[in-house]
Amino acid sequence: MYILNNWEGKMTNVLALLETIAAEPSKNAKQDLLRGIQASDQNELFQEVLKASQTSTTAYNIKQFDIPQGLRTEHLEGFTGTLEQGIDWIQENLVTRKLTGNEAKDELQHLLHHMLEDDAEVLSRIIKKDLRSGFSSSTTNKIWKSLIPVHPYNQCSAFSTKVLENLQLPVRSQLKSDGLYCDTVVTVDSVTYWTRQGNELPINDPQRDAVLLAEANATGEFVIMGEALVTEEDGSVMAREASNGYMNRDDKDLSRIHIAAWHMLPLSEWNAKHLKIKATTIYDVCFARLTAFLAANPTIRIELTEDRLCHTVQDIVAHFKDVRDRGEEGLILKSPNAVWKDGKSKDMVKLKVVIEVEMEVIEWYYGHAGHQHEHNLGGFKARSKCGKIEVRCGGGYSLKQREGWIRDFEALNGVSRADRAVAEKAIFTMKCNGVTTSRSKPGMYSLYLPRFKEFRIDKSVADDLIKIQEQEAAFTDALKLLEK
């Protein structure tokens, strides 16, 4: 474990702490650095910085501002220029909207001008909700238990015949898009896009934001829930593993970023747990508001997700087969009378194929350059017995497996465990959400969202395309058993 006293005087302020953490590529090492801070006299202040920057329900309502040049060390009356006082000031004046618009920007500039340069930089990062240190609120809560409130999220129940039987027909059946979950939080003077984990998504578009702000001022503050998608040059939807990175690029084309939306909830109900109230608006009321709003504003690149009202199980099966035939992941079934809650809902069911398949290892690869696993195992490339399915499986491995296997793979004068696995046609089990056509190889197939489960020393033959397709079909057939 890193201890602050062993850092040879480098840790003089919070900014130095953040930059030291940012420079460490290993997730485990970052956590060790945080534990060192926890055991130091910087602990209390650092926790305040984390709470102020990582609490997703706290909004500072300022998007664009610059740190003034030539910062001074003299102080304002009653203000000694400390980072703690800066945090108190933005909580009192920006979060509460005591100051807004240009007045807020002017006063903030004045405040920053009277702070030490490093502390002004930290306060700026807090307001922008980006400490630029490469760790999220989930990591923070591993070190400081429950320090950061979890981002509000209404989770679906997993599919089972019991759960599905409890849903009262009719239900809304909606496409589960392969995008990045996105909460668009709209107040009377700010629009912020959040991921499910509570990280800010930098996709603000002036034209869209202006329409959203006008709606919030006219009808009340709200949150639109959906999935952010990126379109390719030909209009097709970019694969999720590529689109997530694209949305964080500085040179992204905002006109290619769309949101497939399914919910428009009053902001107070989204924040119900924090406000200690209960949400009461049923889903169909929220969906009707969303439908009307998007119909009136068709150019803001927020579109209604595909939606069908299903009155019978046969309707659900037909919709499920339709989306699977199009290569989509699955459906979300929702009761029209469901009330939003921060937690798992029995009134919403995720309906997607989950099957286990046996595949043959054909090669291994490192993680992507710049990724946390670039020097560890990135994953395995595998194929089916018939050779018609080839897939790269980069998910499902523990960090211990990635680090341990790569040491084995690079040892023994290049005769690696991976080489032996390939030569011996090692078989491993992976979970996936069905079969899909290959995007890069015409006539070939791939697997949808593959993730590693285990090596199978008891098996020597992989599954073929027909067997895997039979498993996928069996899942759909299981729905028919619910018909009465």
Q: Is 216 helix (H, G, I), strand (E, B) or coil?
A: helix
Could you tell me if 297 and 380 lie in one domain? no
CATH number of the domain within which 169 lies: 3.30.470.30
Average pLDDT value for the chain: 84
Could you tell me if 337 and 373 lie in one domain? no
Are 120 and 67 in contact by the 8 Å Cβ rule? The answer is yes
pLDDT, residue 175, reads 95
**Which residue, 309, 336, 352, sits at the end of a domain?**
352
Is the dihedral angle over the CA atoms 391, 392, 395, 397 positive or is it negative?
positive
Per DSSP, 386 falls in state: T
Distance from CA of residue 231 to its chain's centroid?
18
pLDDT tens for each residue of 32-82: 999 999 999 999 999 999 999 998 778 888 877 777 765 554 545 555 678
The backbone torsions φ and ψ at residue 229, rounded to the nearest 5 degrees and listed phi first, read -130, 150
Kindly indicate the confidence band of residue 282, based on its pLDDT and cuts at 50, 70 and 90. Answer: very high
> Residue 131 is part of which domain span?
4-143
Range with the poorest average pLDDT among 117-126, 202-211, 225-234, 396-405: 396-405
pLDDT, residue 200, reads 80
Could you tell me if 135 and 228 lie in one domain? no
Q: What percent of the chain has pLDDT over 70?
A: 87
Question: E strand or H helix at 123, and its extent?
Answer: helix 117-127
pLDDT, residue 482, reads 54
Contacts of 105 (CB under 8 A, 6+ apart): 62, 65
- Residue 203 clears pLDDT 70, i.e. is over it: yes
- Residue 3 clears pLDDT 90, i.e. is over it: no
- Residue 6 clears pLDDT 60, i.e. is over it: no
Could you tell me if 385 and 364 lie in one domain? yes
Order of all β-strands in the sheet with 302-304? 191-194, 180-186, 222-230, 257-266, 302-304
- Residue 368 clears pLDDT 90, i.e. is over it: no
pLDDT tens for each residue of 447-479: 988 998 888 866 778 999 999 988 887 766 666
What six digits make up the tokens of 55?
Answer: 């609490």
- Residue 109 clears pLDDT 70, i.e. is over it: yes
Could you tell me if 429 and 471 lie in one domain? yes
pLDDT tens for each residue of 318-343: 998 888 778 787 899 999 999 999 98
Question: E strand or H helix at 157, and its extent?
Answer: strand 154-158
pLDDT, residue 5, reads 40
pLDDT, residue 16, reads 92
Could you tell me if 320 and 362 lie in one domain? no
Average pLDDT score over residue span 276-301? 96
**Which residue, 143, 177, 192, sits at the end of a domain?**
143
CATH number of the domain within which 384 lies: 2.40.50.140
pLDDT, residue 388, reads 95
Average pLDDT score over residue span 175-190? 90
What six digits make up the tokens of 5?
Answer: 């006293």
Average pLDDT score over residue span 294-313? 96
pLDDT, residue 483, reads 54
**Which residue, 352, 369, 386, sits at the end of a domain?**
352
Could you tell me if 305 and 408 lie in one domain? no
CA dist list (Å): 166 to 76, 157, 480: 63, 11, 16
Question: Is 265 exposed, middle or buried, given 0-12, 13-18 or 19+ CB atoms closer than 10 A?
Answer: buried
pLDDT tens for each residue of 81-93: 789 999 999 999 9
Range with the poorest average pLDDT among 132-136, 399-403, 438-442, 448-452: 399-403
Question: E strand or H helix at 304, and its extent?
Answer: strand 302-304
Q: How many CA atoms lie within 13 A of 47 on its CB side?
A: 17
Question: For the whole model, what pTM was predicted?
Answer: 0.66
Could you tell me if 194 and 229 lie in one domain? yes
CA dist list (Å): 240 to 11, 178, 229, 378: 39, 6, 8, 17
Number of domains in the chain: 3
- Residue 304 clears pLDDT 50, i.e. is over it: yes
Q: Which segment, 226-240, 260-274, 279-293, 415-429, is predicted with the most confidence on average?
A: 279-293
Pairwise CA distance, residues 135 & 140, whole Å = 8
Are 309 and 331 in contact by the 8 Å Cβ rule? The answer is no
Pairwise CA distance, residues 45 & 56, whole Å = 19
Kindly indicate the confidence band of residue 279, based on its pLDDT and cuts at 50, 70 and 90. Answer: very high
Are 133 and 18 in contact by the 8 Å Cβ rule? The answer is yes
